[in-house]
Amino acid sequence: MFLKWLKWRLYIRTKNKWGNLNFLNFNMKGFHILKVLLLYRFLYSIFFYVVSYFVISKLSYFLITPQKKLGNISLLNNISFNYFIWSIYFLMVLIYAIVIGKKISDYFMNTQDHIWLSSILGIPKKNQYIWVFGENLIWKSIPILFWFLPISLSINNFLESGVYVYLKVLVLSMISYLLISLFSFYIYNNISFKRQKNMNWLSIFIVPVFLRTLICYFMFQLGLKFSPWFIKFPLTRNGVNPEEFYKWIENGKTLSLTVFSNWVNSLFHFIYLPNNIFASFIIDSIEYKKLFFSIFIYLIIGYSVILLIKINIPSNRISNRIKLYFFNGLNRVALLGLNPKNYAIFKTVLTSKYVKRKLPNLYGNLFFWAMLGFFSSILSLTTNNMKIHYLALVFLMFFPIYFYVHNIIKGFVGKISFESDKNLLLLFLISGKNIWLVFRIKLLITNLIIFPFIFIGDIMIFCIGNISIKLLFLLIGVHASSMVLFVLICTIPNILSPHFNYLNVEEINEYPDKQFIEQGLYYFMTGFFIPFLMLPTALYLTDNISDSLYTTVQFTLCIIVNSMFSFILTVCIRYKVSKQQILEDILN
């Protein structure tokens, strides 16, 4: 019965994802067209497999062969090349398994499949978890067939390990991937249930904040090591001196080798890490006593984590105050920018089960805090009269904010996305009201949720970095205008290619046409628009703008440009969402 249900689910999800490409205005109907589409995907996957095989073989050759000729280098001191490559491979598999487990948990928390399984098929509750997990694991693991198979095959071919070793790699990859993804799913599922049930302060506030603080501190210390090299960036009136620049690059390579060599050696010499255990097992260099001891230790650790997750920590006076201060702070900010009706909607969104489960996403992802820590360390060692000081500052002005907004829009897609309230939109349209009102409220709520955390980041930069009060206010102004613009830009895929036929709110951003638009915007923003906003700093670094004029041009002009583009985008989006075509999309 499971196989029949699995076949039906995969068919439905494939047809739902690929059957209606709104952006391309290409509707697919009928089983025959769906088979053609699946055949096309299969042929494309084979092509990708062949290309990846040769590309990775060449990359492996250029990366490893010089080391074989020159002998051991300091970065891989006394580490077997076979061991090193397989360890990297299994590290990728384990990370991917953890991510997939979390994604399956997010899907499971918003699915109605268990109701259908219980009422129609009469599947027991315990088996429902297994069925939903198994179906999602297969659905979301399709990329691994076309990513990790070519990678592992090219590595095996280059190392001339043979068929037996490759079979060991495949079996070990599948077993470890299945177990780690299942463990990750179980942990995230239990944490999510606790968050939405009783607002567990440990998983919502203490652990996420501690982890981000740790990453920020680590990158701050790393930045202190690289700051002296970064400050010596060669500049001349006409640009960058080529000879000094190449010398500066070589010094950076030497510094990187010095800094990371100990970490890399420690990471790969510690045999009890899972990826190192698997690599040692593949090349037959591990003692079986160590292997069984490692398995025993990880079983104890896994069982202990499961027991710890099941423990219900009762709320106390401290945790209740943390929740109170947190939500009261957001409510005060919301009251400043919303009227009573919109404020009620904001409060409903903030206290929903969906937002409670994903509340730590508001703190920003680890990459955001890593950039904040690294560039803050550079600011702490430079002063306002140093040009490099402003180069580090403008990096913090744009890139972390864009990544943060992009992460929030994707993380809270079930509430922030234009399509998430399709029934509400339908009621608005039937009653003759303009659905722009719904979209405007979502924009206001998104900006009001994001701004307090950006403001906290600016205060941290002010406390750590050597910036003046004037620069702080200008930085807050640029961040506020950039935030509004970036939120509008990140919602463009939902406006250009809305999908209201999703089976789960977590699938809203998984449609191919929407992903195509999103990736195009991402590369446009990081490769062109944000560097364009940083152009005054480039002119200032090469003495084409004076010190007195730089602040006005870089900060004030950015606020004006951001505000202008925000106004234009708002007008265009309002026109788009007001069209009758939206009603047809919802009904379809």
The answer on pLDDT for 181 being more than 60 is yes
| For the chain, percent of residues with pLDDT exceeding 70 | 75
pLDDT score for 484: 92
Contact in structure between 496 and 517 (CB atoms under 8 Å): yes
Secondary structure class of 81 (helix, strand, coil): helix
Q: Which of 459, 358, 461 is nearest to 407 (CA)?
A: 358
pLDDT at 187: 86
pLDDT (0 to 100) of residue 332: 58
Q: What is the pLDDT of residue 460?
A: 82
> In this predicted structure, what is the pLDDT of residue 563?
92
- Give pLDDT, residue 431: 67
What does the DSSP 8-state code read for residue 365? -
Residue 466: closest CA among 248, 219, 227: 227
> What percent of the chain has a predicted confidence (pLDDT) above 90?
5
| Residue in 230, 228, 226 with CA at minimum distance from that of residue 259 | 226
Neighbouring CB atoms inside 10 A of 269's CB total 12
By mean pLDDT, which of 54-68, 152-166, 369-383 is the weakest? 54-68
Could you read off the pLDDT of 318-338 as tens digits, one per residue?
A: 555 555 555 555 555 555 555
319 or 540: which carries more pLDDT confidence? Answer: 540
Question: What are 304's two structure tokens?
Answer: 């202990």
Return the ∠ at Cα 134 (arms to 130 and 140), rounded to 5°.
145
- Is the pLDDT assigned to residue 264 strictly greater than 90? no
Q: What share of the chain is helix, strand, coil (3-state, %, to 5)?
A: 80, 0, 15
The string of DSSP codes covering 105-150 is: HHHHHT--HHHHIIIII---HHHHHHHHHHHHHHHHTHHHHHHHHH
Residue 547 pLDDT > 60: yes
Mean pLDDT of the chain: 76
Give per-residue pLDDT as tens, 447-497. Answer: 888 888 888 888 888 888 778 888 888 889 999 999 999 999 998 888 888
- pLDDT for the residue numbered 26: 47
* Per-residue pLDDT at 37: 59
User: Which of 8-17, 18-27, 89-98, 424-433 has the least mean pLDDT?
Assistant: 18-27
State whether residue 456 is helix, strand or coil. Answer: helix
**What was the pLDDT predicted at 30?**
45
Range of lowest pLDDT (53-62, 205-214, 509-518)? 53-62
The residue count of the chain comes to 588
Q: What is the pLDDT of residue 51?
A: 66
How large is the average pLDDT for residues 152-164? Answer: 78
pLDDT at 69 over 50: no
The whole model's pTM is what? 0.80
CA distance 506 to 492: 18
Give the whole-angstrom CA distance, residue 38 versus residue 139: 14
**Closest by CA position to 488, among listed 533, 521, 455, 454:** 521
User: Mean pLDDT throughout 244-261?
Assistant: 78
Say which residue the tokens 């299994």 belong to: 90
> Which pLDDT value is given to residue 524?
92
CA distance 141 to 139: 6
Q: Mind spelling out the 3-state secondary structure of 171-184?
A: HHHHHHHHHHHHHH
The Cα angle at residue 163 between residues 161 and 164, in degrees rounded to 5: 90
Q: Which pLDDT score is estimated for 347?
A: 67
Answer with the residue of higher pLDDT: 163 or 438.
163
Structure tokens at 204: 């919502």
Quickly tell me which residue has 């920020």 as its tokens: 216
Name the token pair of 425: 């939109």
Per-residue pLDDT at 76 exceeds 80: no
User: What local confidence, expressed as pLDDT, does residue 122 receive?
Assistant: 73
At 482 the pLDDT is: 92
Q: What's the pLDDT score for residue 188?
A: 84
pLDDT, greater one: 362 or 306: 362
Q: Look at residue 71 in the predicted model and tell me its pLDDT.
A: 41
Mean pLDDT of 33-46: 63
Tell me the pLDDT band of 32, cut-offs 50, 70 and 90. Answer: low
Helix (H) or strand (E) holding 378: helix 366-380
Query: In this predicted structure, what is the pLDDT of residue 72?
Result: 43
Q: Higher pLDDT residue, 386 or 319?
A: 386
Q: How far is CA 292 from CA 48, 289, 587, in A?
A: 38, 5, 58
CA atoms lying within 13 Å on the CB side of residue 506: 17
Using pLDDT thresholds of 50, 70 and 90, give the confidence band for residue 36.
low
| pLDDT, position 74 | 46
**Using CA atoms, how far apart are residues 77 and 261, in angstroms rounded to an integer?**
8
Give the mean pLDDT of 128-144. 79
Contact 506, 113 (CB under 8 A): no
Collect all residues with Cβ–Cβ distance below 8 Å to 157 and sequence separation of at least 6: 53, 57
Task: Say what the pLDDT of residue 23 is.
Answer: 46
